[in-house]
Each structure stands twice: as structure tokens, then as C-alpha cells.
């Protein structure tokens, strides 16, 4: 254990920790401004914004300071080190660096997408001069819209931090971006004929500290100070990237990765980043519908839900073993629990099964080598399993059914006519049934569909219940490795659709409103495999499996989750701004206490 002084404040450094000046200062809330340094990338110390004074405390108590300023990103700390970040010498260097960076920077703030979250704006206000001494014309460089299908480069705004270049080389491994020319003529560009279109390309927008690299999908659509932000989880694969959902007026405009060392780290893939458009698809189901074989149609929730309850009870009385509940891997743990418990309460003979689990190829690992194959050390993985909660729903099925029945097994029984009634939950962003499935769907005596988009099932359903997408509900997703994370409602659904949690609460006759933390406590108490949910609140980093083992699509569906332990609640840093979160301490193996005072 060592001690470092930062502006007179002691900072304890662990014996095995290897921190630089920036990281040590962050621990006591002291900001050391920086542009080029990023905790996930190599150190280049090129921007010179993090210059600080350093010295050493002698055994006799005297302090000997170094004669020159040193870059904080490149200077490791050690026991007895003295760091000064607020001296006149440091402030003068910061102001001079900013003045240099702003010499040829255009005054694009009124139209720049980065305005409001721009480090150049923030640092100029905190550390720079109010006026420029430049009287000569600024150097103008052409913008580069061709740099990628999803990104564009405003060359004049670039401060040459080289973060984007290092990302494509060190994280993606595809190395499309480079620095061309020298000195004041340096620019970011691509290799001829090789645009930056790798599956992680959108991350260069996040890590760009200024408005040089922008997302074409978000360009000129919203000002960031209008956006409302909610923490959530990307649903497009089982990696379970922690994200922030940015919306305004119930419209999602962008998804951004949220730092989580137990999930994906700092980044996310473009499939998840841009794959949310189905949330606002014009064909979204927005009205409940009852069209029973006998009786009038209706489209109001009380009548439709009453019809569903009556139809299910009649089907159970006729042939309970012929009633099947199909639980989607896009459901939250809470929704799966509510539906499974309700159907089993009608009769223990009602069967439960897991809906289709989309698998696309193999896990895609990064960084890549020159031959396009992944290198031995994996820094980011795009999972082949294209759903967010197969593990969580499987744990619920294992508890209520005693096993996990796959969709292929149920489909064979449906085709053979051994199923009379089906309660099917969708929620998929891509079609999960084909026209060939209409034959067995039409043969059912009772078909109840809870979904968000039209499908052959929704067209033939006797009862149609429009649910919510991931951005429209609260709940829990469990990723491939057993990490349980909270998702939060960011927008309201279209039309008269309800969240799935509300639908199932009303259907099962539970009192009160849907409240995810209260349900998590109930689930953790009732299902031993999900005991880690008893805490109710999972925190921004979620609950992690204590063994830390990584599971993939081929690891089986009965993976034990009973060893969950609470993740530490530590400040989490967005990938493009702010100090990095300290490494998480060792996870406790004790079970968290049940949440007290939670209201239904």
C-alpha cells in the first residue's frame, strides 16, 4: 500500500495497482484535463493537455519538485509521489495548449452535434482564455463524408488526439483509419478504398472528444440538452452491453455504450447501436384485439383480458396437458416469472417452453488480425446468440417446468396436433415465424399472442396483446455469463399497447402496479437459481456470477446461476467522457439482503 499526494490530498494506492497521474487524481475528484488518453487504449501523450507538476516527498518531510511539467497520462504514480494540478505553471500550460488547439478550430458550436457534450467547449471554459490572439485566416480543410457508411469526419474540428486511429488498430484490429501528412497539415483519413465500416466503427464517434467524428444516423436530429437519458441493456445479442438510451418526446434517437467492466467494457457493436429502429416501426402493434371463435370482437383491454382468462380456464379444464406457454428469450426475468407462475396456477399440467433462440453464425471476436481472424487476446465479442435473456428465461423455466423445453420440441408437437392452446410471447425485432407455420397455427383451438410486430401468429390469434419493446419497460436481462442487469423504461409505446409486465399483472389478477425491484425480491426468494435478485436493486453494474465463467450459445440452457453475488456500486464512466471507473473489487460471495420497504 502506498500514498500519493494530489494537491495536498492523500490517495491510497494498492500494492498491485498500476495507476497513472490521471487515474490517481480521479480518485479524489480532481480533474486532469485530457484529450488523447483513454483507459482502453495505449498511451501516446500527444495532446499535452494533461501536463502536471510532480515531485517526491523525502524521508525528512521535505518535498522536491521536478523542474518540468510531465504528461499525467504517461507518468505512473508511486509511493511518496507529490502531484500538483492547480499551480500557476500548470494553468498557464493548459491555457496555452487550448489556445494552440483552437487556432484553426471553426466556430461551429451552433451547428455541431457535439455541442453540449464537447470537451473542447468544457475545457475552454474551465482552463482556457476568453479571447483568441489569432488575426490570420484559419486553415480550412475539406470534410470527409466518405470515411464510413455510418460516420462522417469534419476535418476542421479534429484536434488530432488519434483516439480513433488507435481504436481501429487496437480494439477492432481492422486499422482503416490513419494519420496522413505531418505537422500542422496532419489529418485523419482512411486507406484508399478501405472505409471504416467494421462492426465496431460507431465507437469512434463516442471516443472522439470533440465534434470531428459524427454519426450520420444522429446528425442534425437533436440537440443533446433536449435528450432524456435512461440506463438500459442492449437487447440484440447475449453480450448484454450496458447502454444509455437517449430520447426526446418518446422517440429514441440514439443508443450509447455505458461503461461496465463486468459486461462489455467501454464499447458496443454497430448492430446494437443502430438496431433499435424497430421500436418506432410503423407496423407496431398498438391495439388489443379479441376475435374468439364464438362471440363478438372487441378491442378494449378489460374485455380482451377477461376473454383471455376465461378462454385459458376453459382450455385447462378441457385438456390441461394440451395448453402450452411459449416464453420468449426477449422477455425480462420478471415477465417470464409472472407468466410462468400464472399458467402453472391454472394447472400444474400446463407445459412451458422456450421460444426460438436466434443464432447467427459464430461469436465474432475482436481485435482481428491482418488475415481477418480474431487474435488470441479477445477484447470484444459480438455473440452469435441474438437475444438478450435466454439465460434468465431458462432459469425461470427450469424452476417451474423442471427442464427447458426447446421450441423445436414444441413445434413438432404443434405440427402433430398434440397442442390445443398456445400462449405465445414474441418481442423479437426480426420475424420469428414464417408463412409455413400458418398450418399448425390455424389448427389451434386457442391462440393467444403477446407481441410487438405483426407475424403469422398475430394475424391468426384469437387474442392479440400488444406489448412493449426493451425501451418501453422495466425489468432484468441476464447475459451469456450470468450477469443480471436492470433495464429501464425510456419511452411510451405506440397507440394503446401496454408493457408486458402490466399485461401479465392484470391477467394474473395481482394487486398493485408492476414494480420490478419488488418482483426481483420475490423471484430471488422463490427461485434458488436466481437468489441473487433478492436485493431488488441491482445497481448500475448489475449482479455478476461469482465464478466469472463465460458462457456462450453452446453452453447449455441449465447453467447454474445460484452463485450470484452483488456487484459493487461504483461510479461508471461513459466511454467518451469523464474519468474511468476504478477496477471493481473482488465480488462478495454473500447473498444480498432482501430489499426492505418496497411497495408493490
User: Does any domain span residue 599?
Assistant: no
**pLDDT for 426 beyond 50:** yes
Asked whether residue 319 falls in the same domain as residue 402, the answer is: yes
| pLDDT, averaged across the chain | 89
Asked whether residue 440 falls in the same domain as residue 374, the answer is: yes
**250 in the Ramachandran plot: left (φ > 0), alpha (ψ -120 to 50) or beta?**
left
Asked whether residue 56 falls in the same domain as residue 191, the answer is: no
CATH at 471:
3.40.50.740
Contact 102, 123 (CB under 8 A): no
User: Does any domain span residue 523?
Assistant: no
**pLDDT for 597 beyond 50:** no
User: Does any domain span residue 560?
Assistant: no
Asked whether residue 185 falls in the same domain as residue 89, the answer is: no
User: Does any domain span residue 221?
Assistant: yes
Rounded to a whole number, what is the largest CA-CA distance in the chain?
94
User: Does any domain span residue 553?
Assistant: no
Asked whether residue 150 falls in the same domain as residue 164, the answer is: yes
How does residue 594 score in pLDDT terms, banded at 50, 70 and 90? Answer: very low
Q: Which whole number is the average pLDDT over 441-450?
A: 95
CATH at 149:
3.30.70.20
CATH at 82:
3.10.20.740
pLDDT of residue 135: 86
Q: Which whole number is the average pLDDT over 383-408?
A: 96
Asked whether residue 154 falls in the same domain as residue 132, the answer is: yes
Asked whether residue 351 falls in the same domain as residue 408, the answer is: yes
Asked whether residue 318 falls in the same domain as residue 439, the answer is: yes
Asked whether residue 214 falls in the same domain as residue 337, the answer is: no
User: Does any domain span residue 164?
Assistant: yes
> Among the three residues 485, 513, 541, which one is the final residue of a domain in this structure?
513
> Among the three residues 178, 202, 226, which one is the final residue of a domain in this structure?
226
Q: Which whole number is the average pLDDT over 443-468?
A: 96
Asked whether residue 464 falls in the same domain as residue 334, the answer is: yes
pLDDT of residue 454: 96
Q: Which whole number is the average pLDDT over 510-515?
A: 93
CA count, 13 A, side-chain hemisphere, 293: 8
Domain count, the chain: 3
* Residues spanned by the domain of 139: 105-226
CA–CA distance, 235 with 220 (Å, rounded to integer): 26
| 141-155 pLDDT per residue, tens | 999 999 999 999 999
**pLDDT for 547 beyond 80:** no
Asked whether residue 150 falls in the same domain as residue 66, the answer is: no
Cis peptide before 367 (omega within 30 of 0): yes
Of 280, 226, 278, 255, nearest in space to 487 by CA: 255
> Among the three residues 226, 250, 266, which one is the final residue of a domain in this structure?
226
How does residue 295 score in pLDDT terms, banded at 50, 70 and 90? Answer: confident
User: Does any domain span residue 82?
Assistant: yes
Phi, psi dihedral angles at 503 (to 5 degrees): -55, -50
Interior CA angle at 67 toward 66 and 70, to 5°? Answer: 70
pLDDT of residue 554: 33
Coil, strand or helix: which one is 480?
coil
**pLDDT for 586 beyond 70:** no
Asked whether residue 90 falls in the same domain as residue 114, the answer is: no
| 319-375 pLDDT per residue, tens | 999 999 999 999 999 999 999 999 999 999 999 999 999 999 999 999 999 888 999
Of 580, 590, 597, 399, nearest in space to 23 by CA: 580
| 160-206 pLDDT per residue, tens | 999 999 999 999 999 999 999 998 889 999 988 899 999 999 999 99
pLDDT of residue 84: 96
79 vs 545 pLDDT, higher one: 79
User: Does any domain span residue 399?
Assistant: yes
Amino acid at each position: 500500500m502506498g500514498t500519493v499526494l494530489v494537491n495536498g490530498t492523500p490517495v491510497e494506492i494498492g500494492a498491485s495497482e498500476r495507476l497513472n497521474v490521471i487515474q490517481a487524481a480521479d480518485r479524489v475528484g480532481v480533474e486532469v484535463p485530457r484529450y488523447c488518453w483513454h483507459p482502453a487504449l495505449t498511451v501516446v501523450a500527444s495532446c499535452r493537455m494533461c501536463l502536471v507538476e510532480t515531485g517526491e516527498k523525502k524521508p525528512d518531510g521535505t518535498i522536491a519538485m521536478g523542474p518540468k511539467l510531465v504528461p499525467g497520462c504517461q507518468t505512473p504514480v508511486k509511493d511518496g509521489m507529490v502531484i500538483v494540478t492547480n499551480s500557476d505553471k500548470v494553468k498557464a500550460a493548459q491555457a496555452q495548449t487550448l489556445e494552440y488547439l483552437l487556432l484553426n478550430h471553426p466556430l461551429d458550436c451552433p451547428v455541431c452535434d457535439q455541442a453540449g457534450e464537447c470537451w473542447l467547449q468544457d475545457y475552454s471554459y474551465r482552463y482556457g482564455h476568453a479571447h483568441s490572439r489569432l488575426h490570420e485566416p484559419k486553415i480550412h480543410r475539406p470534410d470527409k463524408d466518405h470515411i464510413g457508411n455510418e460516420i462522417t469526419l469534419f476535418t476542421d474540428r479534429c484536434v488530432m488526439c488519434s483516439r480513433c486511429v488507435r481504436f481501429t488498430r487496437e480494439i477492432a484490429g481492422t486499422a482503416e483509419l490513419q494519420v496522413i501528412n505531418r505537422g500542422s497539415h496532419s489529418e485523419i483519413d482512411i486507406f484508399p478504398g478501405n472505409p471504416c465500416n467494421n462492426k465496431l466503427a460507431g465507437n469512434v464517434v463516442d471516443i472522439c472528444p470533440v465534434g470531428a467524428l459524427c454519426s450520420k444516423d444522429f446528425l442534425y436530429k437533436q440537440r443533446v440538452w433536449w435528450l432524456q437519458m435512461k440506463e438500459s441493456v442492449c437487447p440484440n445479442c447475449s453480450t448484454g452491453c450496458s447502454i444509455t438510451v437517449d430520447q426526446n418526446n418518446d422517440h429514441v434517437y440514439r443508443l450509447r455504450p455505458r461503461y461496465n467492466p463486468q459486461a462489455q467494457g467501454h464499447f458496443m457493436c454497430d448492430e446494437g447501436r443502430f438496431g433499435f429502429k424497430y421500436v418506432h416501426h410503423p407496423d407496431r402493434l398498438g391495439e388489443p384485439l379479441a376475435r374468439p371463435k364464438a362471440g363478438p370482437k372487441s378491442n378494449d383491454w378489460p374485455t380482451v383480458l377477461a376473454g383471455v382468462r376465461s378462454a385459458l380456464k376453459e382450455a385447462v379444464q378441457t385438456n390441461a396437458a394440451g395448453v402450452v406457454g411459449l416464453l420468449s428469450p426477449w422477455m425480462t426475468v420478471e415477465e417470464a416469472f409472472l407468466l410462468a407462475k400464472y399458467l402453472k396456477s391454472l394447472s400444474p399440467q400446463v407445459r412451458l417452453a422456450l421460444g426460438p433462440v436466434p443464432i447467427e453464425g459464430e461469436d465474432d471476436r475482436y481485435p482481428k488480425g491482418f488475415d481477418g481472424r480474431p487474435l488470441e487476446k479477445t477484447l470484444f465479442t459480438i455473440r452469435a446468440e441474438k437475444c438478450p435473456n435466454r439465460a434468465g428465461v431458462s432459469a425461470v423455466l427450469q424452476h417451474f417446468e423442471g427442464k427447458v423445453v426447446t421450441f423445436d420440441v414444441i413445434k413438432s408437437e404443434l405440427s402433430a396436433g398434440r397442442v390445443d392452446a398456445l400462449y405465445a410471447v414474441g418481442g423479437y425485432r426480426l420475424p420469428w415465424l414464417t408463412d409455413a407455420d400458418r398450418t399448425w397455427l390455424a389448427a389451434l383451438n386457442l391462440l393467444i399472442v403477446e407481441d410487438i410486430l405483426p407475424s403469422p401468429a398475430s394475424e391468426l390469434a384469437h387474442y392479440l396483446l400488444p406489448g412493449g419493446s426493451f425501451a418501453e419497460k422495466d425489468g432484468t436481462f441476464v447475459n451469456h455469463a450470468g450477469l443480471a442487469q436492470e433495464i429501464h423504461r425510456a419511452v411510451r409505446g405506440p397507440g394503446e399497447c401496454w408493457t408486458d409486465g402490466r399485461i401479465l399483472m392484470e391477467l394474473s389478477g395481482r394487486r398493485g402496479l408492476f414494480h420490478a425491484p419488488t418482483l426481483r425480491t420475490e423471484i430471488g426468494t422463490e427461485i434458488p437459481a436466481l437468489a441473487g435478485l433478492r436485493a431488488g436493486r441491482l445497481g448500475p453494474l448489475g449482479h455478476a456470477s461469482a465464478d466469472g465463467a463465460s458462457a456462450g450459445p453452446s453452453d447449455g440452457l441449465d447453467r447454474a446461476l445460484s452463485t450470484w453475488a452483488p456487484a459493487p456500486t461504483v461510479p461508471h464512466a461513459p466511454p467518451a467522457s469523464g474519468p474511468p471507473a476504478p477496477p471493481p473489487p473482488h465480488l462478495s460471495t454473500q447473498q444480498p439482503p432482501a430489499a426492505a420497504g418496497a411497495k408493490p
